[in-house]
Amino acid sequence: DGGITQSPKYLFRKEGQNVTLSCEQNLNHDAMYWYRQDPGQGLRLIYYSQIVNDFQKGDIAEGYSVSREKKESFPLTVTSAQKNPTAFYLCASSFGTDYGYTFGSGTRLTVV
Amino acid sequence: ELKVEQNPLFLSMQEGKNYTIYCNYSTTSDRLYWYRQDPGKSLESLFVLLSNGAVKQEGRLMASLDTKARLSTLHITAAVHDLSATYFCAVYTGNQFYFGTGTSLTVIP
């Protein structure tokens, strides 16, 4: 079955630490996206990639970094520069605008 | 700045009643999407609306799009408890999808 896999489901980060969230898809989608969702809020775009080896900043890219070395993979690193990283992170991919998004199950990141 | 506004933000409705959620957006777009999110879960695609006048129905939910008015509606018919969730609309423009703030729906017996 095709889909998007995010891991881990829960992640705890210590102050000053970088952590990487994994996102893998086997849907053969070109475009991949990372969103952040805070409690009771909508989704805010962090980064997106329309093609391998290329990505663009979204509305809240500061303190985050990404890579797109393979079509299937779009990992997100939350760096120590991100001062308030506690949130629910959602990865999505898209085959095109006729179809909308397919979302992963999310990673809940907590700073301890 | 592009805005996607949903109203109401919170909706509590009785089982068996009808209601409409509205999604207004501030840019030109003919692509509008509706998603459902259960508490603590990811988003599930409900409808993809790709042209002016598009209408799609699935069970007790019906979505429509008026691109001239920059308005989409999600109509709930004879609500049941299983429809309790948060509903998001999203607009595609400029290589990005922009999400509304969500409507939290609670259906009470």
What pLDDT shows up at residue B55?
96
Position with higher pLDDT, B109 vs B74: B74
What pLDDT shows up at residue A86?
94
Mean pLDDT of chain B: 94
Cα separation values, B89 from B17, B36, B67, B97, B101, Å: 22, 9, 14, 10, 8
What pLDDT shows up at residue A103?
94
| B3-7: average pLDDT | 94
| B21-46: average pLDDT | 93
| Phi, psi for A21 (deg, rounded to 5) | -100, 135
What pLDDT shows up at residue A1?
63
What pLDDT shows up at residue B12?
95
Q: What chain B residue is nearest to A31 in terms of C-alpha separation?
A: B95
Q: What chain B residue is nearest to A47 in terms of C-alpha separation?
A: B96
Position with higher pLDDT, B94 vs B48: B48
Beta bridge partners of B33: B48, B90
CB contact under 8 A, B48 and A33: no
Tell me: pLDDT of B22 over 80: yes
Write out chain B residues lying below 8 Å of A87, CB-based.
none
A29-88 residues touching B, CB cutoff 8 A: 33, 35, 41-43, 45, 48, 50, 56, 58
Beta bridge partners of B93: B96
CB contact under 8 A, B45 and A102: yes
Strands B43-49 and B32-37: antiparallel
User: Is any Cβ of chain B less than 8 angstroms from the Cβ of A106?
Assistant: yes
Q: Give the CA dihedral A37, A75, A109, A80, nearest 10 degrees.
A: -110
CB A63 within 8 A of CB A83: yes
Tokens coding A100: 């909308």
Contacts of residue B93, defined as CB under 8 A and 6 or more positions apart, other chains included, come to B2, B27, B28, B29, B31
Low-confidence residues in chain A, pLDDT < 70? 1
User: Is any Cβ of chain B less than 8 angstroms from the Cβ of A98?
Assistant: yes
Tell me: pLDDT of B17 over 70: yes
Q: Percentage of chain B with pLDDT > 90?
A: 81
| B51-74: average pLDDT | 96
Write out chain A residues lying below 8 Å of B42, CB-based.
90, 103-106
Q: Work out the minimum CA distance from B107 to partner chain A, whole angstroms.
A: 18
CB B97 within 8 A of CB B48: no
Any idea what DSSP says for residue B18?
-
